[in-house]
Amino acid sequence: DQQVKQNSPSLSVQEGRISILNCDYTNSMFDYFLWYKKYPAEGPTFLISISSIKDKNEDGRFTVFLNKSAKHLSLHIVPSQPGDSAVYFCAARPTGANSKLTFGKGITLSVRP
Amino acid sequence: KAGVTQTPRYLIKTRGQQVTLSCSPISGHRSVSWYQQTPGQGLQFLFEYFSETQRNKGNFPGRFSGRQFSNSRSEMNVSTLELGDSALYLCASSLASGGIHPSFFGPGTRLTVL
């Protein structure tokens, strides 16, 4: 049972436009959410996170929105750049010192010049 | 500061064999966690070690095991390999156990089981 779902496997966006990457979760115990970016032949790198007590977190061109009632979060990249082309993973974890991260399957973002 | 290193980077084994993968965390980091990445399942948590103790474990069979040494380096072992074990195995290091998130991942070991 996939508790973190990234239903769209890929997304293609024009440079300069907004990229919106979506993620849904089913476990109501999740209270901390993260996005990772992964380039080919490299490990994932942490991008941005959000706690369930907030509904928005912004870091430069990256903003994560959380809708707890819909169990949905999204990552907005504005403006999109060709260097943003990568696989993006959504991840979530419940409360607890030893709780583990659950990842989605990832979405491949392609930003066209 | 050197990043997380994993060896070997690529490995080809046959069914029934066993394999050992190694991960050296960032200097000063004491927590190492392991993940399996496959196209169909994404990243799945295997286990986490901190101060030579397993702190958390994912839903994988007992063929998957690991350990951590006093210098925080970690190894994972897969015995009696199956075709479905073909995957990219990633390790991540963190300063402490149960941290908010693993920030630093290694490049992974690509295991192919024939």
Long-range contacts of A59-65 (CB under 8 A, 24+ apart): A62/A35, A64/A33, A64/A35
Hey, CA dihedral for B56, A35, A71, B90, is it positive or negative? negative
Are B3 and B69 contacting, i.e. CB atoms less than 8 angstroms apart?
A: no
| pLDDT at residue A10 in the model | 95
Full pLDDT tens readout for chain A, 113 residues: 689 999 889 999 999 999 999 999 999 999 999 999 999 888 898 899 999 999 999 999 999 999 999 999 999 999 999 999 999 999 998 877 667 888 999 999 999 99
Best of B5, B7, B37 to substitute, by most chain A Cβ atoms within 10 angstroms, is B37
Taking the Cβ of residue A93 and every Cβ of chain B, the question of whether any pair is shorter than 8 Å is answered with yes
Please count the other Cβ atoms lying within 10 Å of the Cβ belonging to residue A42. 14
Taking the Cβ of residue B86 and every Cβ of chain A, the question of whether any pair is shorter than 8 Å is answered with no
| pLDDT at residue A98 in the model | 63
Angstroms from A44 CA to nearest CA on chain B: 6
For residue B56, the chain A residues in CB contact (below 8 A) are 98-100
> Residue B56 is nearest to which of A89, A98, A102, comparing CB atoms?
A98
| pLDDT at residue A95 in the model | 77
In angstroms, the CA B74 to CA B33 distance is 9
> Residue A98 is nearest to which of B55, B102, B106, comparing CB atoms?
B55
| pLDDT at residue A54 in the model | 94
Total CB pairs under 8 A between chain A and B: 60
| pLDDT at residue B100 in the model | 58
> Residue A97 is nearest to which of B44, B92, B98, comparing CB atoms?
B98
| pLDDT at residue A42 in the model | 86
Q: Do A46 and B101 touch (CB under 8 A)?
A: yes
> Residue B42 is nearest to which of A42, A97, A106, comparing CB atoms?
A106
Taking the Cβ of residue B8 and every Cβ of chain A, the question of whether any pair is shorter than 8 Å is answered with no
Q: Do A105 and B42 touch (CB under 8 A)?
A: yes
Are A29 and A95 contacting, i.e. CB atoms less than 8 angstroms apart?
A: yes
| pLDDT at residue B99 in the model | 56
pLDDT digits (tens, 9 = 90+) for A69-91: 999 999 999 999 999 999 999 99
pLDDT digits (tens, 9 = 90+) for B1-45: 578 999 999 999 999 999 999 999 999 888 899 999 987 778 899
